[in-house]
Chains A and B, each alone.
Chain A
Amino acid sequence: MELKNAMLELIRRASTDLSPDVEAAIKQAYDREDEGTAAKNVFGTIIENIGLAREASTPICQDTGSVIMYIDLPVGAAEKPYKEAAEAAAMEATKLQYLRPNAVDPITGKNSGNNVGVNAPYIHFHQWEKDEVRVRLMLKGGGSENVGAQYKLPDTPLHAGRDLKGVKKVVIDAVVKAQGQGCAPGTIGVGIGGDRVTSYALSKEQFFRKLGEPSSNPDLAALEKELYEDLNKLGIGPMGFGGKTTCLGVNIGAQHRHPATFYVAISYTCWAYRRKQMIIKGSEVTYD
C-alpha cells in the first residue's frame, strides 16, 4: 500500500533526521558557548548524536514521542484511507524501531506495543482548496510535553494583566519553571486567546513554523524577538547545566477569545524538535 509507505518514510525522517533549521540553530548555540564548559560539551554531544542518528537511520531520541498528524485534504477526499495508512505506518515504524511503543492505556496501564490506540496516532483533518494532500507530522516527547503550561490572565502573583506584557510574563514564568526538564534548549510555542482546548492546540501548531521565521503580525513578531532575547538571559542553558542558550526560538499565534477569558498556552518542545511534512500530488511525494 503506497500511502502507508509514504507515511512510514515520513515517520522515519521525522524520528531520525533533524530538520536543517533546527540543526543550524543548535550549531549556532554550540559556537556561542565558551570552551571547556559543560554547556559546550553538551552541544558537542548533541551535534554528534544528530549525525549518528541520520547516518544509521536510528531515532535521535529514544522517546520518539506521540505521533501527531495534521492532514490537509482536497475537497471531496475521504479521511478514512489516511487514518488507516497512518495506523499501519505507525505499527510498521514501531517494528522497525523508528518509534518506541508509546501508546499506553491509562485504565489498565498496558502498552499497546505498536503506537496504535484510542486517539493514537492523533490526527487533525482539514479540508483545503488545493488539489494535493499535505501531511504534517510532529513527534513530541513526553518530557517536554510535561513542562507545557496554561495560564489564565490576569495572573495575580505574576502581576500579569490582559495584554501582551502579561503574556510575556507568563511565558518567562513557564520557561523558568521548566528549567532543563524539557531537554533545553527548547523551542517555545505560544497560543494566545481561544478556549482551554484551542489555546493549547494553537500553541502546538506553532511548531510547524520554521525557526527564525517571524509571525506575520508585527506585534507578535516583536514579542517573539523580545522573548527570545529575554529567555536566553535566564542562563538555564542546555540540560539546565547553565549556559547562553536556553531557547532556540519563540513562535506565537493568537486567536479571538471570549470577553470573559484570556488564556495563554505554552507548549515546549525539546532540542530534538522533530517535525516533517510531505506533499502528495498524484503519484508524486515530496518531503520537507
Chain B
Amino acid sequence: MIKLTTPISEETARSLKVGDEVLLSGIIVTARDAAHKLMIEEKPDFPREYMKNGAIYHCGPVVKKHEDGSYSFVAAGPTTSTREEPYQAAVCEEYSVRAVIGKGGMGPLTMEGLKKVGAVYLHAVGGAGSLIAKRVKKVKTVFKLEEFGTPEAFWVCEVEDFPCVVTMDSHGGSLHKEIAEKSGKVAKELMGL
C-alpha cells in the first residue's frame, strides 16, 4: 500500500504504476460533467489553487448542510469517468492535475494526457459511498453549488487514506485495456465466434 499526499510532484506521479494500491490524503476537488465542460470552455481561475499538483474526483456526493452553514459528505463514491473523456486531458494540462479519481477507467485521449502531464488515473471502489464519505474529513468550500446543483458542484475537500488502485499510469499502462482484451477473447470463445 502506497501513501500518497497532495501536493503530488510530477516525479511521484510518474513513479506510480498500474496495479499499485494507494491511500490518498490531502485536498481533492469533485468535478463531473458540468464542471469539466466549464473548465474547458471558460477556464475559470477559482479551482487552480486546489487542483495544482492535486486530484480531481469524479463524484456527485450526497451532502448534509449543518446549521452553522458548513457541509459534510454523507455518501461519496465515484461516478463513471468516461463521460469526461472529451475534456480530461485538456483539464489535466490546464490545471496541472496529477491524479484523476473515478471509476470505470478512461480512453485513449486521457491516456495521452496522463503521459504528457505526468499524472495517473486512480480507481476508487464504485458504490462504496458510505465508506469513502468517512474518509472525507472536511468539506473546505464549494463552488457553483447554486448553478450546477449538489451532484455537479465543485466540492473542495480534505481526505485521509482514501483507498484507490492505479489503473492507468503515465507510461501508457491501462488495466482497463488489458481486461477488455482478455475478456473479449473469452467472450468470443463462449459465443463460438
Contact = CB atoms under 8 A, between A and B. Distances in A.
A and B bound?
Answer: yes
A110 B80 CA distance: 21
B127 A271 contact: yes
Given A49-B128, A62-B77, A113-B149, A233 B186 contact: yes
Interface in B56-77: 59-64, 74-77
Contacts of B60: 62-63, 100
Interface in B142-193: 149-152, 163, 165, 167, 175-176, 178-180, 182-184, 186-187, 190-193
Interface of A: 38, 41-42, 45-46, 48-49, 52-53, 56, 58-64, 97, 99-102, 104, 110-111, 113, 141-143, 146, 158-159, 169, 172-173, 176, 179-181, 183, 230, 233-237, 239-242, 246, 270-272
Contact of A272 (B127, B134, B149): B127
Contacts, number: 168
Interface residues of B, number: 50
A235 B151 contact: no
B90 interface: no
A241 B179 contact: yes
Contacts of A97: 62-64, 74-75
Given A59-B74, A172-B191, A241-B179, A143 B130 contact: no
B126 interface: yes
A239 B131 contact: no
Q: State the 9 A-B residue pairs at the shortest beta-carbon distance, nearest first.
A: A111-B149, A62-B75, A183-B126, A49-B131, A53-B130, A59-B75, A62-B129, A49-B128, A272-B127
13 contacts: A59-B74, A61-B128, A63-B79, A100-B150, A111-B151, A111-B152, A113-B149, A158-B191, A180-B176, A183-B127, A235-B182, A237-B179, A240-B105
A107 to B, nearest CB: 15
B98 interface: no
B62 A42 contact: no
Given A49-B127, A58-B75, A234 B150 contact: no
A61 B77 contact: yes
Contact of A111 (B63, B77, B150, B167): B150
Nearest to A141: B127
Contacts of B134: 52
Contacts of B132: 49
B59 A62 contact: yes
A233 B74 contact: no
Nearest to A233: B186
A61 B126 CA distance: 8
Best-buried of A53, A173, A179, A180 by chain B (most CB within 10 Å): A180
